[in-house]
Structure 1
């Protein structure tokens, strides 16, 4: 899979390691992205309140305001694609970053080409035109693909862009067992990736669509196989 260059999309890099910040910035500029580089979390917080880039590449450990808090601040008001970079490569650390609202997570050291592929994938998914489908209902859920609006028994559900894409994919495949690899490929557009990304997003989605996320009625786990959305309820 060949990484395509950017088309002037804006990428903000918040990284306190000057070497990493410079190398990543130069690499992405050389491939057509407009890059802003910041080293301090507080400065980045102010910059993000003033104007949002197209993608945020965010180190987790920062002076001033750490990456987790920056991610939380952005998620309160935007579905801006966020990729976290960190020296903490354990599965628990990856899940932590995703729980805070990141769309993707790369442990250091990482390949520049892999970072570019992840950025390109997030931008591609975000820029895809809205579905021409008319509003439709599945069980208690009503979906308007043109406005990305989903309601449950008439009450609107607030979803991030990635959560919406995941839910729409599940709704379009009712009663089908979907592996985490299936979901990564169809929702994230990845031929490879960390399966815990799906686990965390499923958990976040359940918190919004289920009456009791601990005892889900609609988004069920099929142990050893994946997940299944059932229109009938458990």
Structure 2
């Protein structure tokens, strides 16, 4: 989506020197902030369409920036951080970040994740309730799943699981987010239960064993419904 405004929040000069021209060359309108306070101000006044956020800021933790942003904004947040501990990723995503990329990173991966974030934001704006991948079609509102026009039979919980993935297509959802939405807050630790249902759903959605996987695993974090690149 050429022309989209990207807010980069990072206090490392070398990262800014690398990202600003690279993203500008890809057609984005790039603005930058080096502190959490400036990031919140820029997010409120410059209306970026995606925020690329480092967690290690000089005045506040990036997770606090996510928490504050999510109190009033649905702008996609892509965390770009050297913190590679699984707990940091999970907490950031649970707070409302849409994606997480570790430093060092490739510009190709970053721009692909930006495109996915922009698509997801556009889908959210119109409330994503339909999904199509090859011959598979999902209509959440009609409670309908078909392949080549024939119904795909799902249990009620399998459909609820698919529905939340469709509504967040392209976005990483943590185990906790999915378990809470589908089974309720009393089941936030039932990871094996979730894995069983994901396995069942994968078998029913894939037309053949060699077909591309639709429900992607984010190891140790959660799942993502693949969308076209």
Shorter-normalised TM range:
0.5 to 0.7
Quick check: 1:123 aligned with 2:96?
Answer: no
Structure 1 residues 57 and 25: CA distance shift in structure 2, 3 A: same
Quick check: 1:94 aligned with 2:89?
Answer: yes
The 8 Å contact of residues 160 and 182 in structure 2, kept in 1 or not, is answered as: no
Matching residue of 2:105: 110
- Over the aligned positions, Cα root-mean-square deviation in angstroms equals 3.6
Matching residue of 1:157: none
Which segments of 5 or more consecutive residues in structure 2 lack a partner in the other structure? Answer: 131-139, 146-153, 202-229
How far residue 208 of structure 1 moved from its aligned partner, in angstroms, is 5.5
Matching residue of 2:78: 83
Secondary structure of the equivalent of 1:214? Answer: helix
2:186 aligns with one of 186, 204, 214: 214
TM-score (norm 2): 0.64
Secondary structure of the equivalent of 2:186? Answer: coil
Paired with 1:228 and 1:214, the residues of 2 have a C-alpha distance of 22
Matching residue of 2:65: 70
Aligned residues: 175
Structure 1 residues 92 and 28: CA distance shift in structure 2, 3 A: same
The 8 Å contact of residues 177 and 226 in structure 1, kept in 2 or not, is answered as: no
Structure 1 residues 43 and 223: CA distance shift in structure 2, 3 A: closer
Secondary structure of the equivalent of 1:63? Answer: coil
Structure 1 residues 222 and 94: CA distance shift in structure 2, 3 A: closer
Quick check: 1:226 aligned with 2:177?
Answer: no
Q: From the two aligned structures, give the one with the greater helix fraction.
A: 2
Matching residue of 2:134: none
Provide Cα deviations, 1:85-143, integer angstroms capped at 9, x if missing partner. Answer: 11111222211221221000000001011000000011122224837xxxxxxxxxxxx
1:203 aligns with one of 155, 173, 176: 176
Paired with 1:223 and 1:39, the residues of 2 have a C-alpha distance of 40
Secondary structure of the equivalent of 1:117? Answer: helix
Mapping for residues 174-193 of structure 1, pairs under 5 Å: 174-175=154-155, 176=158, 187-188=169-170
How far residue 224 of structure 1 moved from its aligned partner, in angstroms, is 4.6
How far residue 205 of structure 1 moved from its aligned partner, in angstroms, is 4.8
Quick check: 1:43 aligned with 2:38?
Answer: yes
Which segments of 5 or more consecutive residues in structure 1 lack a partner in the other structure? Answer: 1-5, 132-143, 147-167, 190-196, 230-234
The 8 Å contact of residues 161 and 178 in structure 2, kept in 1 or not, is answered as: no
The 8 Å contact of residues 84 and 102 in structure 1, kept in 2 or not, is answered as: yes
